[in-house]
Structure 1
Protein backbone atom coordinates (compact mmCIF):
# COMPACT_ATOMS: atom_id res chain seq x y z
CA UNK A 1 0.00 0.00 0.00
CA UNK A 2 1.38 3.42 -0.89
CA UNK A 3 2.06 5.93 1.93
CA UNK A 4 -1.09 7.75 2.92
CA UNK A 5 -3.40 5.37 1.02
CA UNK A 6 -6.46 4.16 2.87
CA UNK A 7 -7.17 0.41 3.04
CA UNK A 8 -10.17 -0.71 1.04
CA UNK A 9 -13.05 -1.39 3.43
CA UNK A 10 -14.76 -4.79 3.69
CA UNK A 11 -18.00 -3.46 2.11
CA UNK A 12 -15.99 -2.11 -0.84
CA UNK A 13 -14.32 -5.49 -1.33
CA UNK A 14 -17.70 -7.22 -1.15
CA UNK A 15 -19.16 -4.88 -3.78
CA UNK A 16 -16.21 -5.49 -6.10
CA UNK A 17 -16.52 -9.27 -5.65
CA UNK A 18 -20.27 -9.20 -6.34
CA UNK A 19 -19.87 -7.00 -9.40
CA UNK A 20 -16.95 -9.12 -10.63
CA UNK A 21 -19.06 -12.30 -10.36
CA UNK A 22 -21.88 -10.68 -12.37
CA UNK A 23 -19.45 -9.48 -15.04
CA UNK A 24 -17.78 -12.91 -15.19
CA UNK A 25 -21.16 -14.59 -15.75
CA UNK A 26 -22.10 -12.12 -18.49
CA UNK A 27 -18.78 -12.65 -20.27
CA UNK A 28 -19.02 -16.42 -19.80
CA UNK A 29 -22.38 -16.51 -21.55
CA UNK A 30 -21.09 -14.39 -24.43
CA UNK A 31 -18.09 -16.68 -24.86
CA UNK A 32 -20.19 -19.85 -24.74
CA UNK A 33 -22.70 -18.52 -27.26
CA UNK A 34 -19.93 -17.58 -29.67
CA UNK A 35 -20.52 -13.83 -29.47
CA UNK A 36 -16.92 -13.62 -28.28
CA UNK A 37 -15.10 -16.14 -30.54
CA UNK A 38 -11.84 -17.93 -29.84
CA UNK A 39 -8.86 -15.62 -30.22
CA UNK A 40 -10.78 -12.43 -29.45
CA UNK A 41 -8.97 -10.00 -27.16
CA UNK A 42 -10.98 -8.75 -24.17
CA UNK A 43 -9.68 -5.27 -23.33
CA UNK A 44 -10.18 -4.19 -19.75
CA UNK A 45 -10.71 -0.52 -20.57
CA UNK A 46 -13.36 -1.28 -23.21
CA UNK A 47 -15.18 -3.67 -20.88
CA UNK A 48 -15.04 -1.18 -18.01
CA UNK A 49 -16.61 1.45 -20.27
CA UNK A 50 -19.28 -0.98 -21.53
CA UNK A 51 -20.30 -2.06 -18.02
CA UNK A 52 -19.90 1.42 -16.57
CA UNK A 53 -17.60 0.27 -13.77
CA UNK A 54 -13.94 0.53 -12.78
CA UNK A 55 -11.28 -1.83 -14.07
CA UNK A 56 -10.87 -3.53 -10.67
CA UNK A 57 -13.94 -5.82 -10.89
CA UNK A 58 -13.24 -6.33 -14.61
CA UNK A 59 -9.77 -7.62 -13.74
CA UNK A 60 -11.23 -9.89 -11.04
CA UNK A 61 -13.85 -11.22 -13.48
CA UNK A 62 -11.19 -12.03 -16.06
CA UNK A 63 -9.17 -13.91 -13.44
CA UNK A 64 -12.28 -15.97 -12.63
CA UNK A 65 -12.74 -16.81 -16.32
CA UNK A 66 -9.07 -17.75 -16.66
CA UNK A 67 -9.48 -20.19 -13.77
CA UNK A 68 -12.24 -21.99 -15.73
CA UNK A 69 -10.15 -22.11 -18.91
CA UNK A 70 -12.46 -19.89 -20.97
CA UNK A 71 -9.78 -17.24 -21.45
CA UNK A 72 -6.03 -16.98 -21.26
CA UNK A 73 -4.23 -13.93 -19.89
CA UNK A 74 -1.18 -13.53 -22.11
CA UNK A 75 1.85 -11.23 -21.93
CA UNK A 76 1.46 -8.13 -24.12
CA UNK A 77 -2.03 -9.20 -25.28
CA UNK A 78 -4.02 -9.36 -22.06
CA UNK A 79 -7.12 -11.54 -21.90
CA UNK A 80 -7.83 -13.66 -24.99
CA UNK A 81 -10.76 -16.03 -25.49
CA UNK A 82 -9.47 -19.61 -25.46
CA UNK A 83 -9.92 -21.98 -28.36
CA UNK A 84 -9.22 -25.64 -29.01
CA UNK A 85 -6.76 -27.02 -31.52
CA UNK A 86 -7.63 -30.01 -33.71
CA UNK A 87 -5.40 -32.16 -31.51
CA UNK A 88 -7.21 -31.02 -28.37
CA UNK A 89 -10.60 -31.80 -29.94
CA UNK A 90 -9.36 -35.27 -30.90
CA UNK A 91 -8.08 -35.85 -27.37
CA UNK A 92 -11.31 -34.68 -25.69
CA UNK A 93 -13.54 -36.89 -27.82
CA UNK A 94 -11.21 -39.88 -27.49
CA UNK A 95 -11.56 -39.62 -23.72
CA UNK A 96 -15.34 -39.30 -23.98
CA UNK A 97 -15.57 -42.35 -26.25
CA UNK A 98 -13.58 -44.32 -23.69
CA UNK A 99 -15.35 -43.14 -20.52
CA UNK A 100 -19.00 -42.42 -21.27
CA UNK A 101 -20.16 -45.83 -22.61
CA UNK A 102 -18.48 -47.59 -19.69
CA UNK A 103 -20.25 -45.35 -17.18
CA UNK A 104 -23.58 -45.71 -18.98
CA UNK A 105 -23.46 -49.48 -18.41
CA UNK A 106 -22.95 -48.85 -14.69
CA UNK A 107 -25.59 -46.14 -14.50
CA UNK A 108 -28.48 -47.38 -16.66
CA UNK A 109 -29.16 -50.48 -14.57
CA UNK A 110 -30.17 -48.16 -11.71
CA UNK A 111 -32.58 -45.95 -13.67
CA UNK A 112 -35.98 -45.44 -12.03
CA UNK A 113 -39.25 -44.51 -13.72
CA UNK A 114 -38.64 -40.94 -12.61
CA UNK A 115 -35.19 -40.97 -14.23
CA UNK A 116 -36.74 -42.05 -17.53
CA UNK A 117 -39.42 -39.38 -17.25
CA UNK A 118 -36.78 -36.74 -16.61
CA UNK A 119 -34.66 -37.93 -19.54
CA UNK A 120 -37.67 -37.94 -21.87
CA UNK A 121 -38.52 -34.41 -20.76
CA UNK A 122 -34.94 -33.35 -21.42
CA UNK A 123 -34.92 -34.87 -24.92
CA UNK A 124 -38.12 -32.97 -25.73
CA UNK A 125 -36.55 -29.75 -24.47
CA UNK A 126 -33.43 -30.42 -26.54
CA UNK A 127 -35.51 -31.23 -29.63
CA UNK A 128 -37.47 -27.99 -29.27
CA UNK A 129 -34.28 -25.94 -28.87
CA UNK A 130 -32.79 -27.57 -31.98
CA UNK A 131 -35.93 -26.92 -34.02
CA UNK A 132 -36.15 -23.31 -32.84
CA UNK A 133 -32.44 -22.77 -33.63
CA UNK A 134 -31.80 -21.64 -30.05
CA UNK A 135 -28.10 -22.22 -30.58
CA UNK A 136 -27.01 -20.85 -27.21
CA UNK A 137 -28.95 -23.67 -25.45
CA UNK A 138 -27.69 -26.59 -27.55
CA UNK A 139 -24.48 -27.15 -25.64
CA UNK A 140 -26.09 -26.82 -22.21
CA UNK A 141 -28.92 -29.27 -23.00
CA UNK A 142 -26.51 -31.73 -24.63
CA UNK A 143 -24.34 -31.66 -21.50
CA UNK A 144 -27.32 -32.24 -19.25
CA UNK A 145 -28.50 -35.24 -21.29
CA UNK A 146 -25.10 -36.93 -21.31
CA UNK A 147 -24.47 -36.30 -17.61
CA UNK A 148 -27.97 -37.43 -16.62
CA UNK A 149 -27.39 -40.70 -18.47
CA UNK A 150 -24.34 -41.32 -16.29
CA UNK A 151 -25.58 -39.93 -12.97
CA UNK A 152 -26.01 -43.31 -11.23
CA UNK A 153 -22.62 -44.75 -12.21
CA UNK A 154 -21.22 -44.03 -8.71
CA UNK A 155 -17.90 -42.96 -10.18
CA UNK A 156 -17.56 -39.36 -8.93
CA UNK A 157 -14.03 -38.82 -10.21
CA UNK A 158 -14.89 -40.09 -13.69
CA UNK A 159 -18.08 -38.02 -13.73
CA UNK A 160 -16.09 -34.93 -12.76
CA UNK A 161 -13.69 -35.57 -15.65
CA UNK A 162 -16.57 -36.07 -18.10
CA UNK A 163 -18.30 -32.91 -16.88
CA UNK A 164 -15.12 -30.98 -17.66
CA UNK A 165 -14.81 -32.59 -21.09
CA UNK A 166 -18.43 -31.75 -21.90
CA UNK A 167 -17.85 -28.16 -20.83
CA UNK A 168 -14.85 -28.01 -23.15
CA UNK A 169 -17.09 -29.43 -25.91
CA UNK A 170 -19.79 -26.80 -25.47
CA UNK A 171 -18.71 -24.36 -28.18
CA UNK A 172 -17.34 -27.06 -30.53
CA UNK A 173 -20.60 -29.02 -30.22
CA UNK A 174 -22.68 -26.00 -31.22
CA UNK A 175 -20.26 -25.35 -34.08
CA UNK A 176 -20.58 -28.95 -35.27
CA UNK A 177 -24.38 -28.91 -35.17
CA UNK A 178 -24.62 -25.50 -36.84
CA UNK A 179 -22.07 -26.11 -39.58
CA UNK A 180 -22.97 -29.72 -40.39
CA UNK A 181 -26.74 -29.45 -40.15
CA UNK A 182 -26.78 -32.65 -38.09
CA UNK A 183 -29.40 -31.42 -35.62
CA UNK A 184 -31.97 -34.07 -36.64
CA UNK A 185 -29.37 -36.82 -36.33
CA UNK A 186 -28.27 -35.65 -32.87
CA UNK A 187 -31.88 -35.53 -31.68
CA UNK A 188 -32.68 -38.98 -33.07
CA UNK A 189 -29.57 -40.59 -31.60
CA UNK A 190 -30.36 -39.23 -28.13
CA UNK A 191 -33.84 -40.75 -28.40
CA UNK A 192 -32.46 -44.09 -29.59
CA UNK A 193 -29.96 -44.30 -26.73
CA UNK A 194 -32.74 -43.61 -24.24
CA UNK A 195 -35.09 -46.14 -25.87
CA UNK A 196 -32.43 -48.86 -25.66
CA UNK A 197 -31.91 -48.12 -21.97
CA UNK A 198 -35.67 -48.37 -21.37
CA UNK A 199 -35.75 -51.69 -23.19
CA UNK A 200 -33.01 -53.02 -20.92
CA UNK A 201 -30.56 -53.30 -23.83
CA UNK A 202 -27.85 -51.52 -21.91
CA UNK A 203 -24.85 -52.84 -23.83
CA UNK A 204 -26.51 -51.83 -27.10
CA UNK A 205 -27.22 -48.39 -25.63
CA UNK A 206 -23.55 -48.06 -24.68
CA UNK A 207 -22.47 -49.05 -28.21
CA UNK A 208 -24.89 -46.50 -29.66
CA UNK A 209 -23.54 -43.81 -27.32
CA UNK A 210 -20.02 -44.66 -28.41
CA UNK A 211 -20.97 -44.29 -32.09
CA UNK A 212 -22.85 -41.07 -31.33
CA UNK A 213 -19.78 -39.46 -29.74
CA UNK A 214 -17.41 -40.81 -32.40
CA UNK A 215 -19.54 -39.41 -35.24
CA UNK A 216 -19.69 -35.97 -33.61
CA UNK A 217 -15.91 -36.05 -33.25
CA UNK A 218 -15.38 -37.08 -36.88
CA UNK A 219 -17.73 -34.36 -38.12
CA UNK A 220 -16.21 -31.64 -35.92
CA UNK A 221 -12.61 -32.51 -36.79
CA UNK A 222 -13.49 -32.35 -40.49
CA UNK A 223 -14.92 -28.85 -39.93
CA UNK A 224 -11.76 -27.76 -38.11
CA UNK A 225 -9.50 -29.15 -40.83
CA UNK A 226 -11.49 -27.42 -43.58
CA UNK A 227 -11.15 -24.15 -41.70
CA UNK A 228 -7.38 -24.64 -41.57
CA UNK A 229 -7.07 -25.43 -45.30
CA UNK A 230 -5.79 -22.40 -47.24
Structure 2
Protein backbone atom coordinates (compact mmCIF):
# COMPACT_ATOMS: atom_id res chain seq x y z
CA UNK A 1 0.00 0.00 0.00
CA UNK A 2 1.46 3.35 -0.99
CA UNK A 3 2.01 5.97 1.65
CA UNK A 4 -0.47 8.81 1.46
CA UNK A 5 0.69 12.41 1.25
CA UNK A 6 -0.06 14.22 4.51
CA UNK A 7 -2.59 17.03 4.28
CA UNK A 8 -1.19 20.32 5.50
CA UNK A 9 -3.82 22.45 7.22
CA UNK A 10 -3.03 26.15 7.34
CA UNK A 11 -4.57 28.59 9.77
CA UNK A 12 -6.08 31.83 8.50
CA UNK A 13 -3.10 33.64 9.97
CA UNK A 14 -0.64 31.46 8.01
CA UNK A 15 -2.54 32.09 4.78
CA UNK A 16 -2.58 35.85 5.39
CA UNK A 17 1.15 35.81 6.22
CA UNK A 18 1.96 34.04 2.94
CA UNK A 19 -0.21 36.38 0.86
CA UNK A 20 1.16 39.57 2.42
CA UNK A 21 4.75 38.32 2.40
CA UNK A 22 4.56 37.62 -1.32
CA UNK A 23 2.96 41.02 -2.01
CA UNK A 24 5.75 42.79 -0.12
CA UNK A 25 8.57 40.75 -1.63
CA UNK A 26 7.20 41.12 -5.16
CA UNK A 27 6.72 44.87 -4.79
CA UNK A 28 2.91 44.72 -5.12
CA UNK A 29 2.95 46.40 -1.71
CA UNK A 30 5.48 49.21 -2.03
CA UNK A 31 8.10 49.97 0.60
CA UNK A 32 6.66 52.44 3.09
CA UNK A 33 3.07 51.72 2.07
CA UNK A 34 0.61 51.70 5.01
CA UNK A 35 -0.90 48.30 5.82
CA UNK A 36 -4.37 49.08 7.14
CA UNK A 37 -5.81 46.12 8.98
CA UNK A 38 -9.45 46.79 8.14
CA UNK A 39 -8.74 47.18 4.41
CA UNK A 40 -6.59 44.04 4.34
CA UNK A 41 -9.24 42.07 6.24
CA UNK A 42 -11.87 43.10 3.67
CA UNK A 43 -9.56 42.32 0.74
CA UNK A 44 -8.66 38.87 2.09
CA UNK A 45 -12.15 38.11 3.42
CA UNK A 46 -10.99 37.44 6.99
CA UNK A 47 -11.45 39.15 10.34
CA UNK A 48 -8.91 41.66 11.63
CA UNK A 49 -7.49 39.17 14.15
CA UNK A 50 -5.52 36.99 11.66
CA UNK A 51 -4.42 40.16 9.84
CA UNK A 52 -3.05 41.59 13.09
CA UNK A 53 -1.30 38.30 13.92
CA UNK A 54 0.13 38.09 10.39
CA UNK A 55 1.51 41.64 10.57
CA UNK A 56 3.21 40.83 13.87
CA UNK A 57 4.85 37.77 12.30
CA UNK A 58 5.97 39.81 9.30
CA UNK A 59 7.38 42.39 11.70
CA UNK A 60 9.48 39.61 13.26
CA UNK A 61 10.71 38.73 9.75
CA UNK A 62 11.74 42.33 9.16
CA UNK A 63 9.24 42.93 6.36
CA UNK A 64 6.82 45.13 8.33
CA UNK A 65 7.42 47.99 10.75
CA UNK A 66 5.03 49.32 13.40
CA UNK A 67 5.24 53.03 14.18
CA UNK A 68 3.35 55.13 16.70
CA UNK A 69 0.36 56.97 15.19
CA UNK A 70 1.05 55.39 11.78
CA UNK A 71 0.43 51.70 12.33
CA UNK A 72 2.09 49.07 10.14
CA UNK A 73 4.01 49.85 6.97
CA UNK A 74 6.08 47.74 4.58
CA UNK A 75 9.75 48.11 5.48
CA UNK A 76 11.66 50.48 3.22
CA UNK A 77 14.69 49.41 1.21
CA UNK A 78 17.93 50.57 2.78
CA UNK A 79 21.56 50.53 1.64
CA UNK A 80 22.63 50.18 5.27
CA UNK A 81 20.28 47.26 5.88
CA UNK A 82 21.35 45.49 2.69
CA UNK A 83 25.01 45.88 3.64
CA UNK A 84 24.47 44.50 7.14
CA UNK A 85 22.35 41.55 5.99
CA UNK A 86 24.74 40.41 3.29
CA UNK A 87 27.85 40.85 5.44
CA UNK A 88 26.18 38.69 8.10
CA UNK A 89 25.33 36.09 5.47
CA UNK A 90 28.92 36.03 4.25
CA UNK A 91 30.20 35.45 7.79
CA UNK A 92 27.69 32.83 8.89
CA UNK A 93 27.14 30.86 5.69
CA UNK A 94 30.82 30.42 4.89
CA UNK A 95 31.39 29.05 8.40
CA UNK A 96 28.46 26.64 8.01
CA UNK A 97 29.70 25.45 4.63
CA UNK A 98 33.23 24.83 5.92
CA UNK A 99 31.81 22.67 8.72
CA UNK A 100 29.39 20.86 6.39
CA UNK A 101 31.63 19.87 3.47
CA UNK A 102 33.56 17.10 5.28
CA UNK A 103 30.21 15.54 6.25
CA UNK A 104 28.48 15.86 2.86
CA UNK A 105 27.30 12.52 1.49
CA UNK A 106 26.24 11.53 -2.01
CA UNK A 107 22.58 11.81 -1.02
CA UNK A 108 23.05 15.44 0.07
CA UNK A 109 24.79 16.31 -3.18
CA UNK A 110 22.12 14.60 -5.29
CA UNK A 111 19.41 16.55 -3.47
CA UNK A 112 21.32 19.79 -4.00
CA UNK A 113 21.74 19.06 -7.71
CA UNK A 114 18.04 18.27 -8.12
CA UNK A 115 17.03 21.53 -6.43
CA UNK A 116 19.54 23.44 -8.53
CA UNK A 117 17.97 21.99 -11.69
CA UNK A 118 14.59 23.24 -10.46
CA UNK A 119 16.01 26.69 -9.68
CA UNK A 120 17.59 27.04 -13.11
CA UNK A 121 14.29 26.02 -14.69
CA UNK A 122 12.44 28.61 -12.56
CA UNK A 123 14.88 31.32 -13.67
CA UNK A 124 13.62 30.78 -17.23
CA UNK A 125 9.94 31.19 -16.32
CA UNK A 126 8.54 34.70 -15.91
CA UNK A 127 5.73 33.48 -13.66
CA UNK A 128 8.08 31.61 -11.30
CA UNK A 129 9.79 34.58 -9.65
CA UNK A 130 8.02 33.86 -6.36
CA UNK A 131 9.71 30.43 -6.19
CA UNK A 132 13.29 31.68 -6.61
CA UNK A 133 13.91 32.40 -2.94
CA UNK A 134 12.53 29.09 -1.70
CA UNK A 135 14.53 27.08 -4.24
CA UNK A 136 17.70 29.07 -3.59
CA UNK A 137 17.32 28.52 0.15
CA UNK A 138 16.67 24.80 -0.37
CA UNK A 139 19.82 24.47 -2.50
CA UNK A 140 22.03 26.12 0.09
CA UNK A 141 20.32 24.21 2.91
CA UNK A 142 21.24 20.92 1.22
CA UNK A 143 24.89 21.98 1.43
CA UNK A 144 24.76 23.45 4.96
CA UNK A 145 22.58 20.92 6.82
CA UNK A 146 25.31 18.28 7.34
CA UNK A 147 27.11 20.76 9.61
CA UNK A 148 24.39 19.85 12.14
CA UNK A 149 24.03 23.40 13.46
CA UNK A 150 20.22 23.78 13.44
CA UNK A 151 20.11 27.08 15.34
CA UNK A 152 22.65 28.68 13.01
CA UNK A 153 20.71 27.37 10.03
CA UNK A 154 17.56 28.96 11.45
CA UNK A 155 19.39 32.30 11.64
CA UNK A 156 20.45 31.88 8.00
CA UNK A 157 16.85 31.24 6.95
CA UNK A 158 15.77 34.41 8.75
CA UNK A 159 18.48 36.41 6.99
CA UNK A 160 17.41 34.95 3.64
CA UNK A 161 13.81 36.04 4.24
CA UNK A 162 15.00 39.59 4.90
CA UNK A 163 17.31 39.47 1.87
CA UNK A 164 14.62 38.21 -0.49
CA UNK A 165 13.49 41.60 -1.82
CA UNK A 166 17.08 42.66 -2.39
CA UNK A 167 17.99 39.43 -4.19
CA UNK A 168 14.97 39.64 -6.50
CA UNK A 169 15.90 43.24 -7.27
CA UNK A 170 19.42 42.19 -8.24
CA UNK A 171 18.35 39.19 -10.32
CA UNK A 172 15.59 41.04 -12.16
CA UNK A 173 17.17 44.47 -12.67
CA UNK A 174 20.92 43.88 -12.60
CA UNK A 175 21.12 40.79 -14.80
CA UNK A 176 22.36 38.63 -11.95
CA UNK A 177 20.91 35.31 -13.11
CA UNK A 178 23.80 34.06 -15.35
CA UNK A 179 26.36 34.76 -12.61
CA UNK A 180 24.18 33.09 -9.98
CA UNK A 181 23.80 29.98 -12.14
CA UNK A 182 27.55 29.80 -12.78
CA UNK A 183 28.42 30.30 -9.10
CA UNK A 184 25.95 27.66 -7.94
CA UNK A 185 27.25 25.04 -10.38
CA UNK A 186 30.86 25.76 -9.46
CA UNK A 187 30.03 25.70 -5.75
CA UNK A 188 28.35 22.31 -6.09
CA UNK A 189 31.38 20.96 -7.97
CA UNK A 190 33.79 22.19 -5.29
CA UNK A 191 31.64 20.62 -2.58
CA UNK A 192 31.63 17.30 -4.44
CA UNK A 193 35.43 17.42 -4.58
CA UNK A 194 35.68 18.42 -0.89
CA UNK A 195 37.66 21.55 -1.80
CA UNK A 196 36.75 23.42 1.36
CA UNK A 197 38.91 26.55 1.00
CA UNK A 198 37.92 27.17 -2.63
CA UNK A 199 34.24 26.54 -1.89
CA UNK A 200 34.27 28.94 1.05
CA UNK A 201 35.98 31.67 -0.96
CA UNK A 202 33.56 31.24 -3.85
CA UNK A 203 30.55 31.42 -1.51
CA UNK A 204 31.92 34.58 0.14
CA UNK A 205 32.53 36.19 -3.26
CA UNK A 206 29.07 35.07 -4.47
CA UNK A 207 27.33 36.78 -1.54
CA UNK A 208 29.44 39.95 -1.51
CA UNK A 209 29.26 40.41 -5.29
CA UNK A 210 25.47 40.33 -5.04
CA UNK A 211 25.63 42.79 -2.14
CA UNK A 212 27.67 45.27 -4.20
CA UNK A 213 25.19 45.19 -7.08
CA UNK A 214 22.25 45.48 -4.68
CA UNK A 215 23.71 48.51 -2.87
CA UNK A 216 24.01 50.30 -6.20
CA UNK A 217 20.43 49.44 -7.17
CA UNK A 218 18.97 50.39 -3.79
CA UNK A 219 20.85 53.70 -3.81
CA UNK A 220 19.19 54.45 -7.17
CA UNK A 221 15.76 53.38 -5.89
CA UNK A 222 15.84 55.47 -2.72
CA UNK A 223 17.88 58.31 -4.17
Same fold (TM over 0.5): yes
Residues 52-101 of structure 1: CA distance to partner in whole angstroms, max 9, x if unpaired?
33333333332333233321222222211123421111111111112212
How much has 1:167 moved relative to structure 2? Answer: 1.4
Q: 2:134 aligns with which of 123, 137, 140?
A: 140
Q: Indicate the structure (1 or 2) with the bigger Cα radius of gyration.
A: 1
TM-score, normalised relative to structure 1: 0.85
Q: Which runs of 5+ in 2 are unaligned?
A: 1-9
**Residue equivalent to 1:206:** 200
SS in 2 for 1:42: coil
Flag as ranges the 4+ runs of structure 1 deviating above 6 A: none
Q: How many residues are treated as equivalent by the alignment?
A: 213
Residues 104-141 of structure 1: CA distance to partner in whole angstroms, max 9, x if unpaired?
11101111111111011011111011111321111221
Within 2, Cα distance between the matches of 1:156 and 1:202?
20
Within 2, Cα distance between the matches of 1:143 and 1:225?
26
Whether 1:169 and 2:163 are equivalent positions in the alignment is yes
**Residue equivalent to 2:217:** 223
Whether 1:193 and 2:187 are equivalent positions in the alignment is yes
Matched-pair contact (CA < 8 Å) for 2:13–2:53: yes
Within 2, Cα distance between the matches of 1:224 and 1:146?
25
User: What is the 5 A alignment of 1:1-230?
Assistant: 18-133=11-126, 134-229=128-223
Within 2, Cα distance between the matches of 1:49 and 1:158?
39
TM-score, normalised relative to structure 2: 0.87
Matched-pair contact (CA < 8 Å) for 1:139–1:171: no
Most deviating of 32-41 and 18-27: 18-27
How much has 1:228 moved relative to structure 2? Answer: 3.4
1:42–1:116 CA distance, 2 compared to 1 (3 A): same
Within 1, Cα distance between the matches of 2:123 and 2:106?
26
Within 1, Cα distance between the matches of 2:162 and 2:53?
22
1:25–1:227 CA distance, 2 compared to 1 (3 A): closer
Within 2, Cα distance between the matches of 1:18 and 1:228?
36
